[in-house]
Structure 1
Amino acid sequence: MATIGYARVSTRDQNPEGQTDVLEAAGCEKIFVEHASGTLAKRPALTDALSYLRDGDTLVVTKLDRLGRSVRNLKHVADELQQRGIALKALSQGIDTTTPGGRSFFHMLAAIAEFEHDLIVERTHDGLAAARARGRKGGPKFKMTANKIRQARSMYDSGNHTVQEIADTFGVSRPTIYRHLQSELGQA
């Protein structure tokens, strides 16, 4: 029965030592460290940790958000661990699925988090529908107005400016300038 740790930091610049120190203090014999955003579907160190774990082992994380990308993903990982006979401990939340109370607490947290997520989605949809009913649309505000496109065309046609200079003038990328110049040619 091994105690295995998993630590994750979102970027290469972040230091995982705070997590690894806590995991070592918790008695983890081996620690897998990930340098990746939690939103990424592929997390090699987590895959390695899950492959390394055996029936009767315990996976330890400092916080649940280090383990799962979302509530559903976290629940999926926890269910997989449970099916394989592997316990889960989240140290800062006091979750320990080796006990009936810990399993119950984990499932309650997961259910509450999923409910909260569903409420956020519902409120977002309601807000978007209300905005649409008032004639507002979502999405980015375009930086290139018709007037700016004409100015960019004039600058380009004069031959005195590079496309990069034109892009810098309007605060957009070169592909944006090319796209607008191309679309204006199509309209002429």
Structure 2
Amino acid sequence: MPPKPRKIPVGGRFIGYARVSTDDQGTDAQLNELRAAGCTMIFEEHASGADRNRPVLIRLLRDMNAGDTLVVVRLDRLARSVSHLLAVIEQLDYVGAHFRSLGDPINTTTPQGMFSLQVLGAVAQLERALISERNKAGLCAARSRGRVGGNPGLRARDPNAIRKIRQSRNAAYLDAVLARLDTWLPIVRRMRPSHPWGDVVRVLNRGHLSSSPHTSGKPWTAERLRRTVQRLVNEGIVENGLLDRAQPRHGDDRLIRLVAGIKAAAPDRTLQQIATQLEAMHERTPRGGTRWHPSSVKHLLVRAERLGLTFPSVAAHNPPPCR
């Protein structure tokens, strides 16, 4: 689900991005349209649209500020796949920036533009499902005619065939990760690198996000999550700081940070819900017990506030009963 649109703060910049595939092509037509649309800064790049590792685009996305709007002439100037487009928009939304395509009904500052974006996401999901069904039907038909499945190049151990298969698998892996990015990445960003990977995984696996996006429903593991974030960093989609080493925590200090991380990951969660989650995670109370009470959770959150950890106020989500 794409993020909700935000109102552009006063003074937000309109930044254009123009791309052509080869040096023989020119960007003059794109530059004219972008200037006419009010872009005060325009970045030009010569690269294939299928290449996600475009240095100019990566640098541009990292320099976007809250309220800025990234503008392109057409969607294909930015991305060749819906998954890449949604990943770029998610990265813009993380910093409070927006996106607009002059030739398409995509404008994340308006409800109509956000609706069009949601339709694109739904169409992409449907397309993936239809392709999967067609592949399965084709394999069944081939087997019924006695044909042997598999890639002949792989059976012959052809190095070129093996390299192509690896590239295809890497692309499929990244598409699967990007398809569900908004369901788990915000929690990772709130908890890393203050919390070790193991604590982040336990929050994800107990927060109805237990299915990692590329393992057919299997729960996250610390190593799988770390490798997934590493891949996103390599692609320039998320910030490198998520991979920083977490400081070791022990005893009460670790519990304080764990409870604060759970509250930051889900601000609307009540004290009782956090207590229930800690029990499901088999966390021991500060006194070594197995039964958590809301008062124990509140005590840890108060101590977390004193340590300067940031999360919504306890009182704001757990108001005292009326008398």
TM-score (norm 1): 0.65
- Structure 1 residues 136 and 13: CA distance shift in structure 2, 3 A: farther
Shift of 1:6: 0.9
Q: In the TM superposition, what is the alpha-carbon distance from 1:139 to its structure 2 partner?
A: 9.0
Tell me by how many angstroms 1:94 deviates.
2.3
> Where does residue 104 of structure 1 map in the other structure?
115
- Structure 1, unmatched stretches of 5+, are 143-188
AA matched with 1:112: V
Whether 2:169 is the aligned partner of 1:127: answer no
Partner of 2:229: none
For 1:56, what is the secondary structure of its paired residue?
coil
**Count of matched residue pairs:** 142
Q: Which amino acid aligns with 2:25?
A: Q
Match of 1:18 among 22, 29, 32: 29
Shift of 1:84: 1.2
1 CA distance for matches of 2:76 and 2:57? 13
1:94 aligned partner? 105
Counterparts of 2:24 and 2:136, CA distance in 1: 36
Q: RMSD of aligned C-alpha atoms?
A: 2.4
Partner of 1:149: none
CA contact under 8 A between 1:71 and 1:114: conserved in structure 2? Answer: no
Aligned-partner SS, 2:60: helix
Compared CA separation, residues 4 and 124, structure 1 to 2 (3 A): same
For residues 121 and 51 of structure 1, do their structure 2 counterparts lie closer, same or farther at Cα, with a shift above 3 Å needed?
Answer: same
Counterpart amino acid of residue 43 in structure 1: R
Tell me, in whole angstroms, the C-alpha distance in 2 between the residues paired with 1:30 and 1:101: 26
Q: Unaligned regions of 5+ residues in structure 2, if any?
A: 1-11, 154-323
In 2 relative to 1, CA 29–70 (structure 1 residues): closer, same or farther, beyond 3 Å? same
For the 8 Å contact 2:61–2:91, the answer to whether it is kept is no
Distance 2:34 2:150 in 1: 43
Give the 3-state SS of the residue equivalent to 1:40 in structure 2.
coil
CA distance in 1, matches of 2:18, 2:137: 37
1:30 to 41, 51, 57: 41
Q: Deviations over 1:144-173 (max 9, x none)?
A: xxxxxxxxxxxxxxxxxxxxxxxxxxxxxx
Q: Is the contact between residue 72 and residue 114 of structure 1 (CA under 8 Å) also seen in structure 2?
A: no
TM-score, scaled relative to structure 2: 0.40
Q: Is the 8 A contact 1:7 1:34 kept in 2?
A: yes
Describe the SS at the equivalent of 2:126: helix
Deviation at 1:137, TM superposition (A): 6.2
Asked if 1:82 corresponds to 2:93, the answer is yes
**Residue 34 of structure 1 aligns to which amino acid in structure 2?**
E
Report the equivalent of 1:49.
Answer: 60
How far residue 58 of structure 1 moved from its aligned partner, in angstroms, is: 0.3
Deviation at 1:128, TM superposition (A): 4.3
Structure with higher Rg: it is 1
SS across alignment from 1:45: helix
| Distance of 1:19 and 1:117 partners within structure 2 | 31
Does the 8 A contact of 1:12 with 1:35 survive in 2?
yes
Greater mean alpha carbon deviation, residues 63-72 or residues 28-37: 63-72
1:153 aligns with none
Equivalent position SS for 2:119: helix
Asked if the contact 2:69–2:97 (Cα under 8 Å) also holds between the matched residues in 1, the reply is yes
Answer yes or no: is 1:3 the counterpart of 2:14: yes
Higher relative contact order (CA 8 A, sep 6+): 1
Q: Give the Cα–Cα distance (whole angstroms) in 2 for the partners of residues 32 and 69 of structure 1.
A: 18
Matched residue, 2:79: 68
Q: Percent identity, please.
A: 49
Distance 1:50 1:126, change over 3 A: same
